[in-house]
Structure 1
């Protein structure tokens, strides 16, 4: 006998539909609970490693930690993750006076890691990785304090041949040359401050100039070197001023310096530097490493 569209489904069919619906609901609930459990376990392990890194004398705050591996529960017993990212804010910069203390952000990315059981992570746990990239980032105000230019600002212009460069799809641009630095500096013969006011202040009335310059960055003996090469005249929004010819070299020199040694993760030495957005970044890359969390940011050795 054939059923028509007006014939009601049999009780058995309705029962199977209900069972199927309940099974689907149960599977969804189990999946959600599994994700919650996995996220919770990952969060606990990341917090444990973060607290271990904070035991380092140069790390004042609990850093951000991300362990890349899904599902996390499948990785926690061995501690094998494709990458582990650690980012510590507020790490002091030696050689920078004044209040508040100058600080940097010290990052490390460990690739193909072996952390051991994540439940045992502590300050002295050996963290092994096939490679490591470390970065130390300084923002514009901090760099300005290090250079004695209170209103200094870093800008990373898009390449001249890249239409629409710097848009959302590009992320933060990076450069080692053609970096734009803007700020106010005294002209030769003017004081560094006037009645306690820096050149960028309205109450500083001595001859000064606010300009934008092009600069390149490099690393010499592990320290970041900034060298202003010319005045900026490109398409980015910038500051222009009529600098007398006899003062041009002196003004450019004010935007050139060698920074103090920067704290880098696990005592690595900067190999190259670049600008990223409005930050200055010192970078180092190494091969296989075995490090301890407590040594993340130790006091820098004194330099002659």
Structure 2
């Protein structure tokens, strides 16, 4: 007797249709995601144009509309989080002797409300923002430039003074009020009577009427024999910096120190996206 060779069943048409449907859904998904990103990019471009005018920038700032999908936010006319960043922004005020050339300006826009058609057309005269968290970062190079108006300094650096750092609050702890003072450590070199003096200064930076005031409490010199110049150095580093209002007219309410920079922060609510 010859053995019966089993025959394999032919692929069912339903299996082919299933694969076709999966491929179709994937292609449509990719197209929808691409369209979503394209619309978001168009919206970001229009906001960048308006922010360049509002913040009086020389170039378009970086604008990022966060949250996915963009289309869902667009349908609602409510963009939950828009991030704006502009780097290397100069501010000059000859009356105050202010010459800042490398500011970083940032703004987090919470719930920007504008219809999609108006946004894409660049018509944002009716657009409003529930809340803006704005900040300005003042870097060591600008501090060095301001300090040089009194006493020539070189390689002036900014660091937090962590000698008496407070412990990090435990998870779930109550949020404290914005800090209007912060401990600082300034390091650098200056020239006294033709001699290079290396110094480290400790003090604080305080927020006062929208400006920041540096106060130096203690100065350490590499050459201890030059202690007589400490009062002169302390006075030279007592610098006041007033960069003006924060983005969207927010009033500074907090100051921070990070490696290489001071940061002013503030919050303003219920503001128009552009001046009316």
The residue number in structure 2 matching 1:230 is 218
1:107-146 alignment to 2 at 5 Å? 107-117=106-116, 118-122=119-123, 125-146=125-146
- Structure 2 matches for 1:131-170, cutoff 5 A? 131-148=131-148, 149-156=153-160, 160=165
Q: 1:160, CA displacement in angstroms?
A: 4.9
Quote the Cα distance in structure 2 between the aligned partners of 1:8 and 1:146.
89
Give the TM-score normalised by structure 1. Answer: 0.72
Q: Note closer, same or farther for the CA distance 1:11–1:106 as it changes in structure 2 (3 Å cut).
A: same
Per-residue Cα deviation, 1:82-117 (whole angstroms, up to 9, x for no partner): 21121223332223799x972312222121221333
- The answer to whether the 8 A contact 1:92-1:103 is kept is yes
1:257-296 matched pairs, under 5 angstroms:
257-286=239-268, 288-293=269-274
Answer yes or no: is the 8 Å Cα contact 1:67–1:81 preserved in 2.
yes
Query: Would you say the 8 A contact 2:131–2:271 is kept in 1?
Result: no
| SS across alignment from 1:281 | strand
- TM-score, normalising length: structure 2: 0.78
Deviations 1:44-73 (Å, cap 9, x if unpaired)? 100111011112372111001111232101
Q: How far did residue 157 of structure 1 move?
A: 5.7
Query: What is the CA–CA distance in structure 2 between the aligned matches of 1:119 and 1:24, rounded to whole Å?
Result: 33
Q: Is the 8 A contact 1:141 1:150 kept in 2?
A: no
**Structure with higher RCO (Cα < 8 A, 6+ apart):** 1
Q: CA 1:245/1:277 → structure 2, altered by over 3 Å: closer, same or farther?
A: closer
Alignment of 1:76-225 (within 5 A): 76-95=74-93, 102-117=101-116, 118-122=119-123, 125-148=125-148, 149-156=153-160, 160=165, 176-187=181-192, 190=193, 206-225=194-213
Q: Distance in 1 between matches of 2:165 and 2:246?
A: 32
Provide the rounded CA distance (Å) in 2 between the counterparts of 1:101 and 1:154: 16
Over aligned residue pairs, what C-alpha RMSD do you find? 3.1
The answer as to whether partners of 2:130 and 2:271 remain within 8 angstroms in 1 is no
Selected match of 1:41 from 30, 39, 50: 39
Partner of 1:168: none
Distance 1:175 1:269 in 2: 12
Structure 1 residue ranges, 4+ long, deviating more than 4 angstroms after superposition:
6-9, 157-163
Measure the CA separation in 2 of the matches of 1:220 and 1:29: 57
More strand by share: 2
Long gaps (5+) in structure 2: 169-178
Q: Distance in 2 between matches of 1:284 and 1:260?
A: 14
Is the 1:222–1:269 contact (alpha carbons within 8 Å) kept by the matching residues of 2?
yes
